[in-house]
Amino acid sequence: MSAGAELARPVFRRGPAPLAWPRTLLTGWFFQLKMQAQSGFMVLTALVQPLIFASIAMTDQQAGNRTLPLLYYALGAGIMGIWSTVVFGCGGVISWQRHQGMLEPLVMAPAPFVLVLLGITLGTATVGLYSMGATLVWGWLVFGAQLHFASPLLFVAAVVVTVVSLGLLGLVLGSSFVLYRNSNAISNMLEYPVWLITGLLVPLSLLPGWTHPLAYLLAPTWGVEALRAAAIGGDSAIPLLWCLVASAGYLLLGIWLVRVVERRARQHATLNFQ
Amino acid sequence: MSGLVAPRSPGTHFWRVFFIGGLISYRALFYWISPWQYIPTMLGAPLFQILFFVYLGRAAGVGSTNFFVVGNSIQICSMAGIYGMTMAIANERSFQTLSPILATPSNRLALFLGRGLPVLISALQTCLFGFLVSALLLGFRPSLPDLPGLALAVLVTSASCTGFGMALGSIGLRVRDVFLVSNIAYFLMLLLCGVEVPIGRLPLLLRALAQLLPLTHGIAAGRALAAGAGFLTALPNILLELLVGCAWAAAAYLLFAFFERSGRRSGAFDRL
């Protein structure tokens, strides 16, 4: 190929139009997965931190007088890890893009910004799967948790739906973080309240009634319920369905929010604010 | 001959570096100093941490509310102690201001300890906030005569965590990602120091390790005082916590001196 023809070739190959969006999403997801897997902070958030919380919960369970199974805590701690990676990953990635001066080019690129963000948040949520695997293996090895899944297929389906729903919830958070310069502070504060009110380690019945409507709006509530039902026994179809409904809601809200904040950030020239 | 700057006595110079230098470094290097960062990170997160573990204890049917309130309200001082001190020392390297500072003839002890004072005050504020919200939301009521003793236990534990944070910060003179080390240390202390889990439930090796860490003895003293056991019962643990804190501060100073010397030789201060 001559030098002229080489220069004339587009940098990004344009495929059939229907495949352009999935390709953008898939590329963003994979790129994010590779980046996050090499970040010491994310590995800590996804691996070490959930193991510590799982150990605390399981030790307390063994010392206490309640009889919730250890698997109950292992699964809850796993979702805690996914939530942490989402909440820090979404806020952190956008701050980092802004810090690197990449946020403006991403917003200005022809690919819809919402797809770029969605790839980032889904990739981040997928990294959180480390947590799920780690807490299950840790619970089995160290605490002797029984890893007999009542319905393995439904369990896998519940894992996939939960990760996607958390990634979509991350999209809602991430789109808000674009405008907020102190997003890492909000990330720092958002971990514990969501862990608490979504019943990841504490049954919802122990929490005050006014927290329940909030819990029902958050995907981790339904995700962990579906996972527990599929693993320990129970009906996982209803929580799975609610998780999907919540995901659809997050997607619509995320698309709207991204559009609004993108326009506002362009109008006020706040995209590159440090 | 008169110079541009009037000479000061070594004592004045020491305290100037200690107080003014410490304050300036806190303002310059503590990430979370603005209210937008400080309130969610140093007050919001600890509040939810206390609530989370109190409810976790209730769910597991282990310990009393006071067990988790005292454990967590004292433990949250380590947030300022560990992260604050890591920032106060290690960030000099990140911001490339370490070489100019170490080129000055300032007393290293003043330079080093002065950074701990604002962090210690911040740690005390966080603890106080933790106890206040626990009193308001969770009905925490310590015995009144033991309140001064509890305050002393909190002060000593905050100082001890600051000493531990100094050691981690000193490591930041050499290690690139010292915040990873700080994060691991912070979360491990939740498990090892009797904050959420009675120390007696830990394996022997971890129990021995816990004795060498800050928080362990301070929390034990705090729990004894909150239960109305009396100051004399808690005193041995307060003294042990002080000893642990002094040991970590001494280790931190030695580490700082070592890394300064080796950094001068290898030119590692400017490597990011």
Give the rounded percent of residues in chain B with a pLDDT score beyond 70.
95
Tokens of B23: 């304050």
Size of interface A-B (CB pairs under 8 A): 103
Q: Which of A216-225, B55-64, B149-158, B246-255 has the lowest mean pLDDT?
A: B55-64
**Which residues, other chains included, contact B59 with Cβ-Cβ below 8 Å and sequence gap of 6+?**
A66, A68, A201, A202, A203, A206
3 state SS of B192: helix
B 62-101 residues inside an 8 A Cβ radius of A = 62-63
Angle between helices B231-266 and B216-226 (to 10 degrees): 160
Contact A36, B27 (CB under 8 A): no
| pLDDT score, position B1 | 45
> Cα–Cα distance between B201 and B97 in angstroms, integer?
45
Give the rounded percent of residues in chain A with a pLDDT score beyond 70.
89
Q: Which residues of B92-130 are buried (b: 16+ CB within 10 A; e: fewer)?
A: bbeeeebeeebeeebbeebbbbbbbbbbbebbbbbbebb
Tokens of A183: 């997003």
Tokens of B6: 């009037």
> Cα–Cα distance between B83 and A191 in angstroms, integer?
18
Q: Is the pLDDT of residue A127 over 70?
A: yes
The mean pLDDT of A59-74, rounded to a whole number, is: 85
The answer to whether residue A164 is domain-embedded is yes
The answer to whether residue A38 is domain-embedded is no
The answer to whether residue A191 is domain-embedded is yes
The dihedral over CA atoms of A21, A22, A28, A29, expressed in degrees to the nearest 10, equals 150
B45 interaction partners in chain A (CB closer than 8 Å): 188-189, 191-192
The answer to whether residue A104 is domain-embedded is yes
Other C-beta atoms lying within 10 Å of the C-beta of residue A68? 18
Contact B160, B241 (CB under 8 A): yes
| pLDDT score, position A76 | 95
Residue B7: alpha-carbon gap to chain centroid: 35
Maximum mean pLDDT: which of A27-36, A166-175, B23-32, B181-190: B181-190
Q: Give me the interface pTM, i.e. the ipTM.
A: 0.88
Domain count, chain A: 1
| pLDDT score, position A7 | 57
The residue that leads in pLDDT, A10 or A212, is A212
For residue A189, give the nearest of B45, B60, B179 by CB distance: B45
| pLDDT score, position B113 | 86
> Cα–Cα distance between B152 and B246 in angstroms, integer?
16
Asked if A204 is an interface residue toward chain B (Cβ–Cβ < 8 A), one would say: no
Nearest CA distance, A17 vs chain B (angstrom)? 43
3 state SS of B148: helix
The mean pLDDT of A239-264, rounded to a whole number, is: 91
The residue that leads in pLDDT, A71 or A44, is A71
A84-125 pLDDT per residue, tens? 988 888 766 666 677 778 888 888 888 888 898 899 889 989
The answer to whether residue A140 is domain-embedded is yes
The residue that leads in pLDDT, B150 or A91, is B150
Q: Is the pLDDT of residue B10 over 90?
A: no
Q: How confident is the model at residue B6 (pLDDT cuts 50, 70, 90)?
A: low
Asked if A245 is an interface residue toward chain B (Cβ–Cβ < 8 A), one would say: no
Q: Is the pLDDT of residue B215 over 50?
A: yes
| pLDDT score, position A12 | 54
For residue A185, give the nearest of B41, B59, B180 by CB distance: B41
Q: How confident is the model at residue B263 (pLDDT cuts 50, 70, 90)?
A: confident
A200-234 pLDDT per residue, tens? 999 999 999 999 999 999 999 999 999 999 999 88
A188 interaction partners in chain B (CB closer than 8 Å): 40-41, 44-45
Residue with tokens 């579906």: A226
Asked if B45 is an interface residue toward chain A (Cβ–Cβ < 8 A), one would say: yes
| pLDDT score, position A271 | 75
Contacts 24+ apart (CB under 8 A), A213-218: A216/A242, A217/A246, A218/A169, A218/A194, A218/A246
Contacts 24+ apart (CB under 8 A), B103-108: B106/B13, B106/B17, B106/B21, B107/B10, B107/B13, B107/B14, B107/B17, B108/B253, B108/B256, B108/B257, B108/B260
Q: Which residues of B15-25 are buried (b: 16+ CB within 10 A; e: fewer)?
A: eebbeebbeeb
> Cα–Cα distance between B190 and B76 in angstroms, integer?
10
Q: Which of B32, B33, B36, B48 to mutate to test the interface with A (most CBs of A within 10 A)?
A: B48
* Ramachandran area for residue A16 (φ above 0: left; ψ -120 to 50: alpha; else beta): beta
The answer to whether residue A8 is domain-embedded is no
Interface contact flag, B56 A59, Cβ < 8 Å: no
For residue A192, give the nearest of B52, B60, B62 by CB distance: B52
Provide the domain limits for residue A204.
44-268
A201 interaction partners in chain B (CB closer than 8 Å): 56, 59
For residue B188, give the nearest of A52, A62, A202 by CB distance: A52
The pTM of the whole model exceeds 0.80: yes
The mean pLDDT of A182-186, rounded to a whole number, is: 77
The residue that leads in pLDDT, A91 or B200, is B200
Q: Is the pLDDT of residue B2 over 50?
A: no
A40 interaction partners in chain B (CB closer than 8 Å): 177, 180
Asked if A201 is an interface residue toward chain B (Cβ–Cβ < 8 A), one would say: yes
**Which residues, other chains included, contact A165 with Cβ-Cβ below 8 Å and sequence gap of 6+?**
A219, A222, A223, A243, A244, A246, A247, A250
> Cα–Cα distance between A4 and B3 in angstroms, integer?
69
B76-87 pLDDT per residue, tens? 999 999 999 888
| pLDDT score, position A89 | 81
